[in-house]
């Protein structure tokens, strides 16, 4: 594997029973980047991460992390990877001091000072039991444990889940600081789009086990366009719009999102039988949501309108 | 590794108090009652722990694996710089420490308590916790078995629970037989436990997170095969039991050696055993017979002319060495055969009979040793060399107190003088007391250094006619005193036994008109006629054509046919076990002992076995085809059918995952989802169709 990529998957596929959760996934993470891994629940993000970490065997295909097959990661390679699991799991019976000890004895490059400073920054007592800590404090201990091992690759699975705004900001700042040198890489799985927009320089978007977007944030933003179409009925029912990602109703109007809109798309939009058509700016969040909404049937819990 | 062990100990050590409570409860439940005197603490304790120990090992296994097999906890543990083996062994070590601490500590304290209160209070010794400890060690085999079960991906309704089968079976078998365990057997069980736990641990490691999928698959195959063999055997036994309940017991016909009462000549009789319709008791009918008078051919179907009476079970079988004496009764056991008024006796395997009074409170009041009767409270005098109360059954049934016997002699306890009198001086290698059905006084055969002697028991007036046999079905309640008879033992005759017979484990003896006849076994067609004044005479004969009566069951029997379904490996194991322990409790094993001696039944058995093997081979081939096993593996499984029988296809299903399939987009045939190319057309998997909305930059 090229040294420029710390993660590479080739035709990575994983089935649970008869259902493929991840299918033919080709995906790379360049060294020194912060990649936001986005997708709905069940899109295959956690399964992909578990295969990357070697916790789950791929049904077929391969995945490599830091140049090594994930199925046979040695302790030395694992020492170069920092990982937080979904929900910041820690053993509830341990004290914070025990977490530090457990981490120290299972990581060769453990930085005690870093851990203690980080924990102190979160205002956590080292003698406190994990079960007494708030979710934010637990995230702090979990991140401190992950970073104290001095990893060169950080794989974070939904680290901001349930965190308060202050803890989320602290998490984001930690990730930014971690990558300052440009040599360290982060794969960040999250549902919080503004956090990803703030810290990531690349976005990877999974829908139903497939990777539909794998690009820089700027490239992604620039290649997604949207129009507001004033029409009584869904304008896309009788007209095909090349590159259309999603069309959703907003009151009596329709918001049409398109990827890589070209001349053909412009022509198709012009030919829509609509009272008015207006091009609008697309935010990162709009663009991501357009992709994510493709696999959801309804737009609101009240209206069952199909997409 | 140290940190992992610490983590496991911290996580599971909190269950220790519960373990202590459970084991203490088992200890308390095993204590003898205060109301009456009883022994058997050892077997009660072992049985208690045989139920609770496996439960503790199983619970530990579930507790230790359940959390770490969840995604979050598993990820938190496994992303560290540790290997899967280190995680596994840390769990094993911690579980072993917690389990042994939970078991050993209460047992040691219990042993100390027994040391302080026994034997004065109850017939019990501290060493009696040893069998329980050995069986508990064996019960720990459920822990690695649970790890296997928890880490397997098979369905709970399918074969996921298979790994538990062997651990549960071996723990159950050894624990149920625990009332025979003394020091030697406890150590044997202990060594077996170490071997079993080691084997299961290595197998569990191979299951751990698929580590063995790539390296030690043979361990999984071996273990699951053993479990499958047990499951098939258990299934056959289950049907066997149901058939046994419903199928009437057929009449049995045997050829048997008996002695004609009047002439004392040996005969070969053809006997039919049947169940009396009124009394439902087993009765026998003589169909024919002929005297063994030197003729080379004997026809046992010859009608017997005139009124002739025969001694039932004319030959008495004796062990040729004290080493062959069975069974072992544990460290301390009730000596119910040795009845005396007021006192209850227990045999301590250090060589003493201990007498306890029950009322007004339980107390050790008497010790009987080989050289005298002593007061209770101490083990005084010369110990017996073996349990001295095995023998003289006919005396006991007639209500007489039995003489005692060990390898140094036969002794009579005189209750009046409180002393012991030696009736026969040893050394004694083998002994048997006859059980005459005609009411005459029993006699005794003693084998001593190659000399076989027949003894008779005379009363003070030199008469042998003092014995009063009870009427059939009646047992004398009141003890008759032997002392009043001034009993003495007198040699009737002595003969020299040839070395070829001495080398046997046991042989049958009977008094004939010319001396003593010694029979190798009841199926042999030769016996040795010994007399004091003539050299040994070997009488050999053959049966007349057509009179070769099949031994064992005579007609086709469904039970025998069912035995043919038992895997050959298990049949061999049963046979080996029967050789080691002829009194073992395999019902089919007992049955087979008769089947092997019967040509007809053996043919039935092998026919069913052959059909079962054929069916197993077919099933094996079908499964190998469905599971897409390679040729070499398939041939291996087909060959294994000889040993595993119907268990082979079962083991295959338990071992391999059935490959899942999807239709190939190129050839429309079902293809394996775990293969990169289609096995039919070689096509690769189709990359999902582009939807025209993918955004992938050059770097990706």
Rg (CA), chain A: 22
**Secondary structure tally for chain B: helices H, strands E:** 19, 26
Record: contact B699-A30, CB cut-off 8 A:
yes
pLDDT of residue B344: 85
Alpha-carbon distance B35 to nearest alpha carbon in chain A (angstroms): 48
A55, A62, A204, best to mutate vs chain B, most B CBs in 10 Å: A55
- The pLDDT tens digits of the residues spanning A140-177 come to 888 888 888 889 999 998 888 777 888 888 888 888 88
pLDDT of residue A307: 38
Q: Which residue of B has its CA nearest to A50?
A: B75
Alpha-carbon distance B652 to nearest alpha carbon in chain A (angstroms): 20
Record: contact B685-A213, CB cut-off 8 A:
no
Whether the CB of A27 is below 8 Å from some CB of chain B: the reply is: yes
Cis peptide before B427, with omega less than 30 degrees from 0?
Answer: yes
pLDDT of residue B500: 79
Q: Are the C-beta atoms of B26 and B49 separated by less than 8 Å?
A: yes
Interface of A with B in 168-227 (CB under 8 A): 202, 210-216, 219-220, 223-224
Count the neighbouring beta carbons within 10 Å of the beta carbon of residue A280.
Answer: 13
Record: contact B71-A224, CB cut-off 8 A:
no
- Judging contacts by C-beta atoms under 8 Å, the chain B residues touching residue A211 are 696
Q: What is the mean pLDDT of residues A64-77?
A: 89
Q: Which residue of A has its CA nearest to B8?
A: A91
pLDDT of residue B209: 66
Record: contact B697-A244, CB cut-off 8 A:
no
User: By C-alpha distance, which of B310, B311, B314, B286 is closest to B300?
Assistant: B286
- Judging contacts by C-beta atoms under 8 Å, the chain B residues touching residue A55 are 71, 74-75, 78-79
Record: contact B693-A243, CB cut-off 8 A:
yes
Whether the CB of A80 is below 8 Å from some CB of chain B: the reply is: no
Question: Along chain B (700 residues), what's the average pLDDT of each consecutive run of 10 residues?
Answer: 88 91 90 71 86 92 88 83 88 94 94 86 87 92 94 86 93 81 85 94 84 68 94 89 67 77 84 75 81 82 81 77 66 79 84 85 86 86 87 80 87 80 86 80 88 88 80 62 72 86 81 84 76 81 67 62 87 76 55 65 84 95 91 93 93 89 87 87 84 77
User: By C-alpha distance, which of B401, B422, B423 is closest to B340?
Assistant: B401
Predicted confidence band of residue A233 (pLDDT cuts 50, 70, 90): confident
Ranges A90-104, A177-191, B465-479: which has the least confidence? B465-479
Strands of B363-369's sheet, edge to edge?
B332-334, B343-348, B352-357, B363-369, B372-375
Record: contact A108-B685, CB cut-off 8 A:
no
pLDDT of residue A303: 54
Alpha-carbon distance B692 to nearest alpha carbon in chain A (angstroms): 5
Q: Are the C-beta atoms of B52 and B23 separated by less than 8 Å?
A: yes
Cis peptide before B360, with omega less than 30 degrees from 0?
Answer: yes
- Judging contacts by C-beta atoms under 8 Å, the chain A residues touching residue B79 are 53, 55, 78, 81, 83, 85
Count the neighbouring beta carbons within 10 Å of the beta carbon of residue B642.
Answer: 15
Q: Are the C-beta atoms of B384 and B373 separated by less than 8 Å?
A: no
Helix (H) or strand (E) run with residue B406 in it: strand B404-406
B490 forms bridges with which residues in the sheet? B456
B689, B695, B699, best to mutate vs chain A, most A CBs in 10 Å: B695
Provide the CA B543 distance to its chain's centre, in angstroms: 36
Phi, psi of A285 (to 5 degrees): -65, -45
- The pLDDT tens digits of the residues spanning B662-676 come to 888 888 888 888 888
Q: Is the pLDDT of residue A1 over 50?
A: no
Q: Is the pLDDT of residue A20 over 50?
A: yes
Whether the CB of A86 is below 8 Å from some CB of chain B: the reply is: yes
pLDDT of residue A296: 65
Whether the CB of A148 is below 8 Å from some CB of chain B: the reply is: no
- Judging contacts by C-beta atoms under 8 Å, the chain B residues touching residue A30 are 699
- Name the average pLDDT for chain A: 85
Q: What is the C-alpha separation between A290 and B6, in angstroms, rounded? A: 49
* Pick from A18, A106, A242: CB nearest B80: A106
Record: contact B693-A89, CB cut-off 8 A:
no
Q: Is B131 helix (H, G, I), strand (E, B) or coil?
A: helix
pLDDT of residue B245: 66
The pair of three-digit structure tokens given for residue A65, joined into one six-digit string: 């992390």
Q: What is the C-alpha separation between B500 and B524, in angstroms, rounded? A: 14
Predicted confidence band of residue A13 (pLDDT cuts 50, 70, 90): very high
Q: Are the C-beta atoms of B369 and B75 separated by less than 8 Å?
A: no
- Judging contacts by C-beta atoms under 8 Å, the chain B residues touching residue A90 are 76
Whether the CB of A57 is below 8 Å from some CB of chain B: the reply is: yes
Q: Which residue of A has its CA nearest to B74?
A: A55
Whether the CB of A260 is below 8 Å from some CB of chain B: the reply is: yes
pLDDT of residue B590: 60
* Pick from A18, A24, A260: CB nearest B685: A24
Burial of B606 (0-12, 13-18, 19+ CB in 10 A): exposed
Whether the CB of B580 is below 8 Å from some CB of chain A: the reply is: no
Record: contact A105-B2, CB cut-off 8 A:
yes
Query: Maximum Cα–Cα distance for chain A, whole Å?
Result: 69
User: By C-alpha distance, which of B67, B89, B5 is closest to A105?
Assistant: B5
pLDDT of residue B55: 93
CA distances from B207 to A193, B7, B215, B657 (A): 41, 22, 10, 13
Q: What is the C-alpha separation between B424 and B488, in angstroms, rounded? A: 9
Instruction: Give me the residue label for tokens 């109703």.
Output: A249
Rg (CA), chain B: 33
A45, A139, A212, A236, best to mutate vs chain B, most B CBs in 10 Å: A212
């Amino acid at each position: 594997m090229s040294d420029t990529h710390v993660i590479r998957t080739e035709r990575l596929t994983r089935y649970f029973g008869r259902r493929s959760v991840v299918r033919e996934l080709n995906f790379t993470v360049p060294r020194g980047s912060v990649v936001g891994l986005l997708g709905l629940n069940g899109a295959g993000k956690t399964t992909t991460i578990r295969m990357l970490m070697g916790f789950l065997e791929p049904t077929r295909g391969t995945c490599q992390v830091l140049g090594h097959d994930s199925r046979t990661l040695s302790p030395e390679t694992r020492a170069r990877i920092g990982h937080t699991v979904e929900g910041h799991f820690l053993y509830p019976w341990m004290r914070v001091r025990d977490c530090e000890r457990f981490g120290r004895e299972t990581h060769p490059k453990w930085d005690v000072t870093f851990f203690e400073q980080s924990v102190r920054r979160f205002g956590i007592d080292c003698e406190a039991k994990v079960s007494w800590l708030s979710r934010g404090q637990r995230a702090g201990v979990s991140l401190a444990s992950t970073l104290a091992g001095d990893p060169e690759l950080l794989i974070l699975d939904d680290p901001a889940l349930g965190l308060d705004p202050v803890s989320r900001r602290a998490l984001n700042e930690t990730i930014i600081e971690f990558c300052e040198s440009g040599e360290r890489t982060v794969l960040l799985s999250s549902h919080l789009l503004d956090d990803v927009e703030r810290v990531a320089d690349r976005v990877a978007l999974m829908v139903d086990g497939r990777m539909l977007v794998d690009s820089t944030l700027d490239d992604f933003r620039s290649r997604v366009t949207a129009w507001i179409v004033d029409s009584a009925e869904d304008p896309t029912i009788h007209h095909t719009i090349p590159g259309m990602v999603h069309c959703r109703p907003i009151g009596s109007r329709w918001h049409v999102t398109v990827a890589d809109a070209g001349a053909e798309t412009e022509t198709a939009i012009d030919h829509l039988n609509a009272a008015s058509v207006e091009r609008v700016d697309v935010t990162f969040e709009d663009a991501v949501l357009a992709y994510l909404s493709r696999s959801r049937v309804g737009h609101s819990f009240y209206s069952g309108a199909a997409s | 590794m140290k940190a992992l062990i610490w983590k496991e100990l911290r996580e599971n050590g909190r269950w220790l108090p519960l373990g202590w409570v459970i084991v203490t409860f088992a200890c308390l439940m095993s204590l003898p009652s205060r109301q009456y005197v009883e022994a058997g603490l050892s077997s009660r304790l072992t049985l208690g722990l045989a139920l609770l120990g496996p439960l503790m090992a199983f619970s530990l296994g579930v507790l230790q694996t359940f959390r770490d097999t969840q995604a979050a906890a598993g990820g938190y543990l496994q992303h560290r710089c540790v290997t899967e083996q280190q995680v596994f062994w840390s769990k094993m070590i911690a579980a072993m420490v917690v389990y042994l601490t939970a078991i050993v500590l209460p047992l040691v304290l219990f042993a100390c308590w027994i040391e302080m209160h026994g034997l004065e209070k109850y017939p019990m010794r501290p060493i009696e916790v040893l069998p329980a400890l050995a069986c508990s060690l064996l019960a720990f085999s459920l822990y690695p078995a649970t790890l296997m079960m928890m880490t397997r991906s098979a369905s709970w309704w399918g074969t996921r629970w298979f790994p538990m089968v062997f651990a549960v079976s071996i723990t159950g078998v050894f624990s149920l037989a625990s009332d025979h365990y003394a020091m030697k057997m406890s150590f044997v069980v202990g060594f077996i436990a170490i071997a079993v736990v080691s084997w299961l641990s290595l197998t569990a490691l191979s299951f751990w997170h698929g580590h063995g999928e790539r390296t030690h698959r043979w361990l999984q195959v071996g273990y699951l095969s053993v479990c499958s063999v047990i499951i098939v055997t258990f299934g056959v036994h289950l049907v066997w039991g149901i058939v046994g309940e419903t199928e009437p017991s057929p009449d049995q016909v045997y050829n048997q050696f008996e002695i004609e009462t009047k002439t004392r000549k040996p005969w070969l009789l053809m006997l039919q055993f049947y169940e009396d319709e009124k009394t439902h008791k087993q009765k026998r009918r003589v169909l024919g017979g002929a005297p063994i008078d030197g003729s080379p051919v004997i026809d046992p179907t010859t009608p017997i002319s005139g009124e002739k009476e025969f001694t039932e079970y004319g030959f008495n079988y004796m062990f040729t060495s004290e080493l062959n004496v069975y069974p072992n009764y544990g460290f301390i056991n009730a000596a119910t055969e040795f009845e005396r008024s007021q006192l209850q006796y227990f045999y301590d395997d250090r060589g003493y009979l201990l007498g306890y009074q029950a009322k007004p409170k339980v107390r050790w009041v008497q010790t009987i040793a080989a050289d005298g009767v002593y007061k209770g409270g101490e083990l005084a005098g010369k110990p017996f060399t073996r349990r001295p109360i095995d023998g003289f059954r006919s005396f006991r049934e007639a209500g007489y107190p039995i003489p005692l016997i060990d390898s140094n002699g036969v002794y009579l306890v005189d209750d009046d003088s409180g002393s012991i009198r030696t009736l026969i001086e040893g050394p004694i290698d083998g002994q048997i007391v006859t059980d005459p059905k005609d009411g005459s006084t029993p006699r005794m055969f003693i084998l001593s250094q190659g000399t076989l002697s027949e003894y008779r028991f005379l009363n003070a007036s030199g008469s042998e006619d003092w014995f009063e046999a009870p009427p059939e079905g009646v047992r004398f309640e009141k003890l008759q005193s032997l002392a009043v008879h001034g009993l003495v033992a007198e040699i009737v005759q002595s003969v020299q036994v040839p070395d070829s017979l001495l080398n046997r484990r046991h042989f049958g003896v009977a008094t004939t008109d010319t001396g003593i006849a010694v029979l190798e076994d009841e199926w042999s067609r030769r016996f040795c006629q010994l007399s004091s004044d003539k050299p040994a005479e070997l009488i050999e004969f053959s049966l007349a054509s057509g009179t070769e009566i099949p031994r064992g069951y005579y007609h086709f029997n469904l039970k025998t046919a069912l035995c043919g379904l038992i895997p050959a490996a298990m049949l061999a194991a049963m046979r080996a076990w029967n050789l080691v322990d002829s009194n073992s409790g395999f019902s089919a094993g007992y049955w087979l002992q008769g089947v092997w001696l019967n040509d007809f039944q053996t043919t039935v058995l092998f026919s069913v076995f052959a059909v079962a093997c054929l069916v197993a081979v077919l099933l094996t081939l079908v499964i190998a085809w469905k599971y897409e096993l390679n040729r070499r593996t398939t041939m291996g499984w087909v060959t294994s059918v000889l040993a595993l029988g119907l268990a082979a296809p079962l083991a295959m299903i338990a071992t391999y995952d059935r490959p899942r399939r999807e239709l190939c987009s190129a050839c429309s045939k079902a293809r394996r989802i775990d293969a990169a190319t289609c096995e039919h057309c070689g096509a690769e998997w189709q990359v999902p169709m582009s939807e025209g909305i993918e955004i992938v930059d050059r770097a990706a």
